[in-house]
A and B are shown apart, each in its own frame.
Chain A
Amino acid sequence: MSARDLVLGRLRAALGEPRTAPAPVPRGYRSTGSVAADLDLLVHRLTDYRATVHRCADADVARTVDELLGGRQIVVPPELPRHWLPDSVTPVLDDNLTAARIATLDGVVTAAAVAVAETGTILLDGAPDQGRRIITLLPDVHVCVVRTEQVVATVPDALTRVDPHRPLTWISGPSATSDIELNRVEGVHGPRNLHVIITA
């Protein structure tokens, strides 16, 4: 008997026959679309967890990136809008760079898939303007550009906007830990600086 048959046989024996039909799941909580997305709330929640928020027009993103990363080497995903990059940064295109190479770069600029106002969360789904998961992990500064129409109110809203078959990364503030006396401390293994640029 294979382990698979053994485990499944045990579980069926444990449940017995006839099975009790499970009750329907009550979903009385705030469902998708029941709350309006609130940009100010998103800004508050991001800031509260030590992300730095910048608001500007799409045409001014490059100026903000210049202030944050001017003079530095940054990794960029394959289809990052070029007008977001100022002349002052040295972009290194991620065409399957090695981990060791990415780890030597100062920062990364990406777009986002969705942002959740209530929790201050940015979702990346690996689209060509966000790139592979590794590029937002090793550099110490992550600058993420969010368009206002990408902002949703709640977690249920966010789940309807992404494809489960893509690799997803939910980011809420910079890397942190609560492992020392249960206090939140920012800055462990992921980027220690998270900048979110919200464009109108």
Chain B
Amino acid sequence: MSRTFLGMPTPAPRGVGHLRGDEPFPAAARRALGDAQLRRNLRHATTTIRGKSGAVIGEVPDWQELRAAGRAIKTDTMARLPELLEQLEAAVTAAGGTVHWAADAVEANRIVTDLVRAAGADRVMKVKSMATQEIGLNEALEAAGIEPVETDLAELIVQLGRDKPSHILVPAIHRNRAEIREIFLREMPGVDPGLTDEPAALAAAARRHLRRTFLSTKVAISGANFAVAETGTLAVVESEGNGRMCLTLPDTLITVMGIEKVIPTWRDLEVFLQLLPRASTGERMNPYTSMWTGVTPGDGPQTFHLVLLDNGRSAVLADEVGRQALHCIRCSACLNVCPVYERTGGHAYGSVYPGPIGAVLSPQLTGVADNASLPYASSLCGACYDACPVMIDIPSILVHLRAEAPHPRAEAAAMAVAAYTMDHPALYAAAQRAAKLSRLAGPRGRGLPPPLSGWAASRDLPQPPSETFRQWWAER
């Protein structure tokens, strides 16, 4: 046994959080495909956002230069991640904040729960955050007798509907306005029974519902879009103002961020603040961005805690090909252009990170064996790579992870036979002639026996030609 080193990169633990689905992608996707309403909702929403995003990206003459800079900044960040985190810690501490480190979801949940208890609160308000969904923070808080209140409109729809998020940016993308109205009428205390399904009326209902919570809750929990190592500045990008409420009104603010969110310098924000809104909501700029550095006397929360979360990210960093999945700025452009996501929706991916980025991030965070079907949840068309504002080469990571996923023994044996045959010309010619026998497999391979029938279930076996190229060449 080689030396045991405690600091080995480690995947996210099982049994906590939401990185693993209950069933493989093909089974979940098959069920989702049968839901015509879901497919209509997704198609409408993704078509809308693609149009908006394309229009505002077209306004920027230097979009490709910004993408290239975004990629390079993230590559640089990953290469210096431990040092940048130490720098961030020092800067936040100097500005009056307290920094905590969490090796995994269990530890992060415990840290946050203890901080909320220490503040004497039995209710917290939350800004939408992928990191806290990933670690299952709401469940952990509820188990400790603390009520988490989601304040983002889509998260509120999901929470009131006892549903699961299905999109990074718009967790309730699978719900249309009529369904949202039904949820509000059923679950929102004191809601006007005459509520219509006009989006403005639905937004106004959420405004009334949450105002009292904003004014009376003493602890808020947020994620972070960016954390600047150089200055210790945290940034949250949002639309509704619920983020500003949570970042401004309470006495105590707890921010949980994945360690990959750090960026080296203040100047680097000039790249990401241009890339993110246009790629994400298709806006030139989102309505509100809040930035804060530690604690400001007399303005906003006077106690600030920053929780730095690993939870499998070190394992992603250890893979030289896969580590660029950590470059993701959670814009969700890859979901909106993905032909697979548009048809199956986000729930089929099992993890809080759906779509193309989820298909490369989730298996790496958990170890490929725990999400073995996700690297195959793609047609490898490459639209995600084109759309990504930081140029993550998602198709290449998918192929790389497919090689790491467990493969059936029959497939390995078949590949070995194929390799040997192709190495021997006479054998290869004979095999080509014999290929006509594959007609025995039935039309498109549907008559194959197990285990080959599994392969053919979602693929068509090509019909062999009546004459091989070699035969044609020999006879001309």
Contacts and interface: CB of A to CB of B under 8 A. Distances in A.
Q: Does A pair with B?
A: yes
Contacts of A49: 283-284, 287
Interface in B311-367: 314-315, 317-318
B270 A188 contact: no
Interface in A135-184: 137, 154-156, 159, 164-184
Contacts of A3: 100-103, 107
A103 B245 CA distance: 12
Given A179-B152, A181-B199, A188 B239 contact: yes
Given A6-B7, A182-B45, A185-B200, A159 B269 contact: yes
Contacts of B233: 164-165
Interface residues of A, number: 76
Contact of B231 (A165, A170, A186, A189): A165
Nearest to A189: B241
A28 B68 CA distance: 9
B244 interface: yes
A133 B317 contact: no
A147 B270 CA distance: 23
B154 interface: yes
B383 to A, nearest CB: 18
Contacts of B45: 181-182
B441 interface: no
B158 to A, nearest CB: 10
B49 A182 contact: yes
Interface stretch (A8-16, A52-60, A66-74, A82-90): A8-16
A93 to B, nearest CB: 14
B288 interface: yes
Given A3-B101, A165-B95, A179-B172, A126 B202 contact: no
Interface stretch (B76-84, B113-121, B432-440): B76-84
Contacts of A188: 153, 203, 206-207, 239-242
B291 A155 contact: no
Contact of A8 (B46, B79, B86): B86
Interface in A1-54: 1-15, 19-30, 32, 45, 49
Contact of B215 (A4, A100, A167, A185): A100
A8 to B, nearest CB: 5
Contacts of A185: 199-200, 203
A107 interface: no
B173 A182 contact: yes
A99 interface: yes
Interface in B1-56: 5-10, 41, 44-46, 48-49, 52
B79 A155 contact: no
Contacts of B204: 187
B291 A13 contact: no
Nearest to B41: A181
B377 interface: no
A11 to B, nearest CB: 4
B271 A11 contact: no
Given A9-B7, A172-B287, A22 B76 contact: yes
Interface string A97-130: 0011001000000000000101111000010000
Contact of B48 (A23, A155, A182): A182
A63 interface: no
Interface in B194-253: 199-200, 202-204, 206-207, 210-211, 214-215, 228, 231, 233, 239-242, 244-245, 247-249
Given A171-B287, A179-B170, A185-B203, A4 B310 contact: no
Contacts of A159: 266-267, 269-270, 273
A169 B290 contact: yes
Contact of A190 (B69, B244, B296): B244
B135 interface: no
Interface of A: 1-15, 19-30, 32, 45, 49, 96, 99-100, 103, 116, 118-121, 126, 132-134, 137, 154-156, 159, 164-191
Given A11-B81, A137-B245, A181-B176, 19 more contacts: A4-B101, A6-B103, A9-B5, A13-B314, A15-B81, A22-B79, A26-B68, A26-B72, A27-B69, A137-B248, A155-B273, A156-B267, A172-B283, A172-B285, A172-B286, A172-B288, A182-B170, A188-B153, A188-B239
Among all A-B residue pairs, the 5 with the closest Cβ atoms? A9-B7, A190-B241, A189-B241, A10-B314, A14-B318
